[in-house]
Each structure stands twice: as C-alpha cells, then as structure tokens.
Amino acid sequence: MEKLTHIDNDGNAQMVDISPKKITERTAEAYAEVYVSPKTMAAIHDNTIEKGDVLTVAKIAGIQAAKKTYELIPLCHNILISKIDIAFELVNEQNLIKIKSFAKTEAKTGIEMEAIVAASTAAITIYDMCKAIDKSITISNIMLISKNGGKSGDFINPKFEKINV
C-alpha cells in the first residue's frame, strides 16, 4: 500500500518537504460541469444576466482562485504559476456548461490543485452570478483530467473518458 505523503509516521498532518526535488515543467487540466435551467442557459448565452457577463467573471474568478490555492488548501505549497486558462463549452440541449482549466508551472511540486481550484471556482461563480433566477443550479463531476511532469510521471483520468466530452 502506498504511503500518504501528507501524513507523518505518527498519523499527523504534515506539509511535504519538497526541497530535495528538482524543478521541472508541470501541467494539469481539470474539469467541472454546471447544469442550469433552460431559462438560465438562454440568459447566459444572450448575456442578459443582471450581474454581468457570467463566463468572463467566472473565468477571472477561477484564475484568481488558482493563484490563491495555497491559502485555501492548508498543505499546498505556494508555487509560481506560469499559466492558467479556463474554457467553457455551452451544451444547450443539456443545459450544461462544461468547464476545463489548464495550469502550468516550473516547480518542485505539481499544479493539480491549482487546476482543480480554478475549475471549481469558475463553477461556483456561475452559480453566484445566476442564483437570482435559478437556485437549482447543480455543480458536478469536478475532477483532475490529467497531469504531466514530476517524479510520479503523467496521469490521465480514466473516469474523464466516460463523460461525453
């Protein structure tokens, strides 16, 4: 059984010592889904939500959140982020907004958490922007799609392939 890196020999939470690791390029992609009502989907598409441009605000929120991941997740390291990008796909027939985030760094530790926080925060921001007309918004399928670089190597999430993306 693999040992959890954030637990010491006594079972206490610990921040991993990354000082011996080498700086390498690392990337990660994450995903989230937001289901809205038909009325909300139309308002997002037509950019008629009273609070403003939902997808632009959600993108900026996701980028800002990624930069603050180490402040939100207690054992994350503060790393220099080279790039964060967030893309949205509106699937009108399902009243679904698909969110994909991409994060990149050159660091001693991975950037998966930053990608996940970016996608999650973008989804939550869509809820916040639209809750006045749709409190039934559902956020789901938040996951890491892939990660590259580092000692543990590359990873592609097989669960992501099961989603019709």
Q: Which of 104, 116, 114, 108 is nearest to 16 (CA)?
A: 108
Q: 56-75 as b/e, with b when 16 or more CB fall inside 10 Å? A: ebbbebbbebbbebeeeeee
Active site (annotated) includes residue 128: yes
Geometric angle at alpha carbon 130, from 125 and 131, rounded to 5°? 95
Which of 8, 10, 128, 154 is an active site residue? 128
The answer to whether 114 and 69 have CB atoms below 8 angstroms apart is yes
**Cβ proximity of 139 and 124 under 8 Å:** yes
Cα–Cα distances in angstroms (integers) from residue 149 to residues 23, 31, 81, 155, in the given order: 10, 19, 14, 9
Give me the active site residues, please.
128
